[in-house]
Amino acid sequence: MRMYVVDAFAEKVFEGNPAAVCVMEKWISDSLMQKITSENNLSETAFTVKNGSYYELRWFTPGGEIDLCGHATLATAYVLANFYATEDASFVFKTKSGELRVERRGEIFELNFPSRMPSQIELTEQMINALGVKPLSVYLDRDLMFVLGNEEAVKGLSPDFSKLKALPDGLGVIVTAAAEHNAYHFVSRAFFPKIAVNEDPVCGSAHTQLIPYWAKQLGEDKMVARQLSARGGTLHCRFEGERVAMGGTAVLYATSDIQVNS
């Protein structure tokens, strides 16, 4: 099996979010995919198999399989476009979140995902204790999303991961604020201790909530987002009602052959 490690939403190596991509001729067992993912020790490993005109795609974290991952989808499209289907400008993936499309536009890969407008919920003391700060408001869809007062509060946040993991709602925790840099519209960070990923450097799936929220707040359909992790990453976002689009570049870090038995 051939595996690629790609930095997604990155302009150079060691930026953005690294993902491993395994391109296979047929599916292997779930337990073996989980073992490979745990061995990689990256936030996500993507596994894909071509099926006619589309690709089946699944994502695993060290803590188990998840239903949606943006940066690993971008990484998969990058690998296919550069090593397997070099003439193709678009890719269709069948996933646990339905059909996902990725368009190649020069160096940018644009993902088209479902839109998830989060609902506002009540702020609790448990949430405040886990974050270490009091947010302006809190919302929930797949992930808990906390709106903070400014960009510096997002950048400087140092949450208690054990307390985040104990929060009853949400798979992950997103913190966000309006951007203070003219190049961006909003900033964020994303934490997933429940699936053994304390901080996800650049999280595409989190932006399925962030994009509709900020489109409504800012009155903008086209936005540029910046994730303020140590690695950092930029996403070119577009709100399309029931769908959202997010684009970014990717860089190959490494390739390897995996010797495993299915």
Q: Which residues pair with 177 in a beta bridge?
A: 187
Distance CA 210, CA 61 (A): 22
Is there a catalytic annotation at residue 180?
Answer: no
Q: Are 59 and 43 in contact (CB under 8 A)?
A: no
Task: Show the tokens assigned to 120.
Answer: 């506002």
CA distance 195 to 66: 9
Amino acid in position 63: G
Closest CA to 77 of 222, 237, 197, 252: 252
Rounded to 5°, angle at Cα 198 from 130 and 31: 130
Buried b (16+ CB within 10 A) or exposed e, 65-83: ebebbbbbbbbbbbbbbee
Residue 118 DSSP code: P
> 142 in helix, strand or coil?
coil
Per the residue annotation, which of 44, 110, 151, 199 is the catalytic one? Answer: 44
Query: Which of the residues are catalytic?
Result: 44
